[in-house]
Structure 1
Amino acid sequence: MKLNYIFGIFISITVMACNSKDKNLSVEVYETSAAGNKLQKVEAVEIKEAVVTIAIKPEQKFQEIIGFGGSFTESTAYLMNQIGEENRKLILDAYFGEKGARYSLTRTHINSCDFSLSNYSYASVEGDKELKHFSIDEDRDDIIPMIKDAMAVSKDGFKIMSSPWTAPVWMKDNKDWKGGKLLPEYYDTWALFFSKYINEYKKEGIDIWALTVENEPLGNDYNWESMHYTPEEMVDFVSNHLGPKLKADGHDVKVLGYDQNRDELKEWADVMYKDEESSKYFDGMAIHWYARTYDYMPDVLQYTHEKAPNKLMIQSEACVDAEVPHWNDDAWYWKKEATDWGWDWAPEEQKHLHPKYVPVYRYARDIIGCLNNWVQGWIDWNMVLDTQGGPNWANNWCLAPVIVDPKIDEVYFTPMYYTLAHFSKYIRPGATRIGFELDDDDLMVTAAQNPDGSIAVVVLNMEEKAKAMKLVLGEKETTFKIDAQAIQTIVIHSEK
């Protein structure tokens, strides 16, 4: 796939209102649709009477946006080493370049995870409580080079969040990669581990913006690396060990708690944000979406924000799981065919939580729902996977926005890539989510004002028919259409 073909799609067009000249609202409209648009320009259409009205309210201000992006896993970075230089550059430009999705918020794993080639730890010498043998050499062949290459491509830079799936097995009560708990006698050693990790990455020229204490502290049924915490245990570890250690060592890094599904978020918020003492070292909460396939749980997000309005909420992981990728089949990603990890095992009374769903909608619905309920950043899981949905030592196959076939050195940008770009490219770090009024319950909308004054409005139409729309900002307006089964980003430039 040629570079100019991929990035030739990022073309803007000015759409003018179909009424008096002084009320014209000049906007750029980009659309991705089941009909085949991929962030393509939308032609101006004269509409005498719009069906849907979206009124933008910039005076209504909500949370600041941190960013959007994906994850540097060993699986992704390994695959980037298996393809040719031209396609490696193509993917890096697509994710981080100025003509690409401009990812601004990313994640990586500390020690191995399921999307690693094998189990490994940076502290493999048993009983090394002072971590004299600590080494990040496992990351030097793949993850570190990919991060550095992405940094070289990114004009504005991006933030990195790092998460451990487990401590070294010798620090745990079950001496296993899967499950178990951190032994209390190693709490200080594990806190030191985080500090050393930050230092070693800094020596590579890579700054870590945030840490999560533990990926999925509730566990994963012992399927791959994990380590369990109760909310009280995590607060104890952070309050008395990790937080003080990071402060003593001079690390300016965010610490996010929980890092699992939203269905148990309230319980964790109640414990983490109980009082000033319990919350003082936590900068916020990391969340995942896997509890349900379509419900972004607005009540839970609102509750957590109200519990601690000054703390962050970051969606730290999401993917279309339990699926093997469909190669060069855009139509599949717009069909109600995908299932999730709960499709097979969920009891009858929970089947409704795990229906078949449209992969594109799952991404767009959740991002819009999260933004409209105080979430400040949204991170996808693997940036690149192969045609099997791996490599993955635990055989935990998933989808990724970009699929590669290293055997023939080919790349497939799925519709999910363009879906994510609708947000990451146009809603920039430091943007503020703003208000809007919408008179059609079948559409989903979010809006944000960027630091340069421009406003990005993202619209999702899941209906089987196109819709005419009128966009209103103050005294100005414009009309246009959104395709059936489509996502649009409308950019209103500042008039300064």
Structure 2
Amino acid sequence: MKNIKTYSFLMLSIITIAACKTEKPTQLKLKADVFETSESGNKLTQLTEFKTAEQDTLINPSEIVLSPEKEYQTITGFGGSFTESSAYLLNKLSKENRNKIIQAYFGNDGARYSLTRTHISSCDFSLSNYTYAPVADDMTMEHFSIQEDQDDLIPMIKDAMKASEDGFKIIASPWTAPPWMKDNKEWVGGKLLPKYNDAYSLFFSKYIDAYKAEGIDIWGITVVNEPHGNGNNWESMHFSPKEMTDLVQNHLGPKLEADGKGDVKILGYDQNRAGIKEWVDEMYKDEASSKYYDGIAIHWYESTYDFFPEALQYGHNKAPDKYLIETEGCVDSQVPVWKDDAWYWKKEATDWGWDWASEEDKHLHPKYAPVNRYARDIIGCLNNWVDGWVDWNMVLDRQGGPNWFKNWCVAPVIVDPDADEVYMTPLYYTMAHFSKYIRPGAKVIDANKTDKELMVTAAKNPDGSIAVVVFNEGKTEKHFSLKLGEKIKNISINPQAIQTIVITN
């Protein structure tokens, strides 16, 4: 009898020890909604069930650990650009489709764009060349007029304002000064003659007033689009860093201040990221040169693959309290593919550098999937102090225009105005993963990941919610545990997919 009791006690002890070893501590569940866009067909689709990881993954689980107490930059916004081309196309669609697109970008159920851009006078995505100051030597801007914008551009902006519950900011950029102010008297190339510095500054002030009279507030301006030029192709005007800083410091900044427009943000540069250093070194050289600059604007065309983290870090560190905004990016030199979602996930798209970059820079311009370009770039920018990201045209046609220079590009929404058809490409949903869920005033926070093949960024919104964006460029499904303090949620992400995870508790 004693032996049986001893045996029973030993068995009970073994079972108890085994149970203790295998029992997991109770995990607090993280409340989060997961939205995914994927090559397999999800389009901002809410996911509620997730596949289970393989056993070897459970031994060394992939984790994304959020640390909201580690805050970085404040988000200004995300969005796209109002161009004459986009506005013209909207006017050619039925009322139903026009409203569908406006709501898709600005409505509360849409992408909720919060930061936008438009052009001052014409650009390549205009129907023709025009300026608001067409009369030569009109130093007082007596003949200044935005009449050219009344049919298309202004109505599009006003419709967007009506649709937007929270409103949005507008950055306005000229591609050139009126040709009569330039040394070559041409639309393309040339430099602003110093004797017109004050007239050009007045030109900006008049523009802000004219749009204000239409009920449209301009939040910020850039001095000129792409001061290094664009290969002498379409509207352009050249500045060196010193020339632009002299204009801003001694003419444009003081003029806007004197005219009661000191709250309008002035962003310098407005071209590719690789050139940030030489520009911020001059812009922020001293207190006087920095005074009227509110930040720097950048584009991605130096490479739509490499987001130049060192340059972004340098720009931020030079002036941590100033804006660092990407004001333009698109899949350029490419005709859109109509109603073929798969193309936007394939490494077939090229950019200008595929054909024209020097041999030493070819590696910066690989064939790369359009969705990957956007997701990779925006996440890379957010993780390196960029506070705003603005896409180029919101709407283009099946050719990638209209564009007076035939500089075809891709937009998130493609339309066939003759057939009154609208195609929301995967790029639209990719943009919405950021613009819809990361709101102005959000703080980028620390997100530490263990899977090097995933790209991750996170931000805490003013309402306390946290948006985590995860990009899986690979062709295999991934699993990870999302952790916030003691709370956890196990998530799987499809191959070639982008997710936004919204945490509300």
The interval holding the TM-score normalised by the smaller chain is over 0.9
Change beyond 3 A, Cα 1:46–1:111:
closer
2:234 alignment counterpart: 224
Matches within 5 A, 1:433-444: 433-444=444-455
The structure with the largest alpha-carbon Rg is 2
For residues 346 and 174 of structure 1, the distance between their equivalents in structure 2, rounded to whole angstroms, comes to: 27
Cα deviations by residue, 1:2-28 (Å, 9 ceiling, x for unpaired): xxxxxxxxxxxxxxxxx8776011100
Matches within 5 A, 1:93-492: 93-251=103-261, 252-492=263-503
| 1:150 partner SS | helix
**Paired amino acid for 1:293:** T
- Checking the alignment, whether the CA contact within 8 Å between 2:51 and 2:492 is kept in structure 1 is no
| 1:91 partner SS | helix
How far is 1:348 from its partner?
2.2
Pairing 1:29–2:14 present? no
- Checking the alignment, whether the CA contact within 8 Å between 1:93 and 1:99 is kept in structure 2 is yes
**Paired amino acid for 1:326:** V
How far is 1:329 from its partner?
0.3
- Checking the alignment, whether the CA contact within 8 Å between 1:46 and 1:479 is kept in structure 2 is no
**Paired amino acid for 2:491:** F
- TM-score where L is the length of structure 2: 0.93
How far is 1:45 from its partner?
2.7
Pairing 1:40–2:25 present? no
For residues 347 and 67 of structure 1, the distance between their equivalents in structure 2, rounded to whole angstroms, comes to: 34
For residues 350 and 237 of structure 1, the distance between their equivalents in structure 2, rounded to whole angstroms, comes to: 32
- TM-score where L is the length of structure 1: 0.95
Cα deviations by residue, 1:125-155 (Å, 9 ceiling, x for unpaired): 1111111000000000011000000000000
Cα deviations by residue, 1:243-290 (Å, 9 ceiling, x for unpaired): 000000001200000000011111001111111111110000000000
| 2:267 partner SS | strand
1:12 alignment counterpart: none
For residues 445 and 393 of structure 2, the distance between their equivalents in structure 1, rounded to whole angstroms, comes to: 30
Cα deviations by residue, 1:318-367 (Å, 9 ceiling, x for unpaired): 00000001000000000000010011122222211111001000000000
For residues 178 and 357 of structure 2, the distance between their equivalents in structure 1, rounded to whole angstroms, comes to: 32
- Checking the alignment, whether the CA contact within 8 Å between 2:84 and 2:153 is kept in structure 1 is yes
- Checking the alignment, whether the CA contact within 8 Å between 2:27 and 2:488 is kept in structure 1 is no
- Checking the alignment, whether the CA contact within 8 Å between 1:287 and 1:315 is kept in structure 2 is yes
| 2:253 partner SS | helix
How far is 1:194 from its partner?
0.2
For residues 93 and 216 of structure 2, the distance between their equivalents in structure 1, rounded to whole angstroms, comes to: 24
How far is 1:46 from its partner?
6.1
For residues 429 and 346 of structure 1, the distance between their equivalents in structure 2, rounded to whole angstroms, comes to: 36
- Checking the alignment, whether the CA contact within 8 Å between 1:32 and 1:487 is kept in structure 2 is yes
For residues 65 and 497 of structure 2, the distance between their equivalents in structure 1, rounded to whole angstroms, comes to: 20
For residues 433 and 157 of structure 2, the distance between their equivalents in structure 1, rounded to whole angstroms, comes to: 23
For residues 462 and 352 of structure 1, the distance between their equivalents in structure 2, rounded to whole angstroms, comes to: 19
Change beyond 3 A, Cα 1:474–1:247:
same
- Checking the alignment, whether the CA contact within 8 Å between 1:51 and 1:467 is kept in structure 2 is no
* Alignment size in residue pairs: 476
For residues 280 and 248 of structure 1, the distance between their equivalents in structure 2, rounded to whole angstroms, comes to: 14
- Checking the alignment, whether the CA contact within 8 Å between 2:442 and 2:462 is kept in structure 1 is yes
1:6 alignment counterpart: none
For residues 239 and 146 of structure 2, the distance between their equivalents in structure 1, rounded to whole angstroms, comes to: 25
- Checking the alignment, whether the CA contact within 8 Å between 2:27 and 2:486 is kept in structure 1 is no
How far is 1:44 from its partner?
2.0
**Paired amino acid for 1:60:** K
Pairing 1:56–2:61 present? no
For residues 84 and 487 of structure 1, the distance between their equivalents in structure 2, rounded to whole angstroms, comes to: 32
Cα deviations by residue, 1:363-399 (Å, 9 ceiling, x for unpaired): 0000000000000000000000000000000110000
Gaps of 5+ in 2: 1-23
RMSD, aligned α-carbons? 1.0
2:13 alignment counterpart: none
- Checking the alignment, whether the CA contact within 8 Å between 2:304 and 2:377 is kept in structure 1 is no
For residues 27 and 351 of structure 2, the distance between their equivalents in structure 1, rounded to whole angstroms, comes to: 51
| 2:377 partner SS | helix
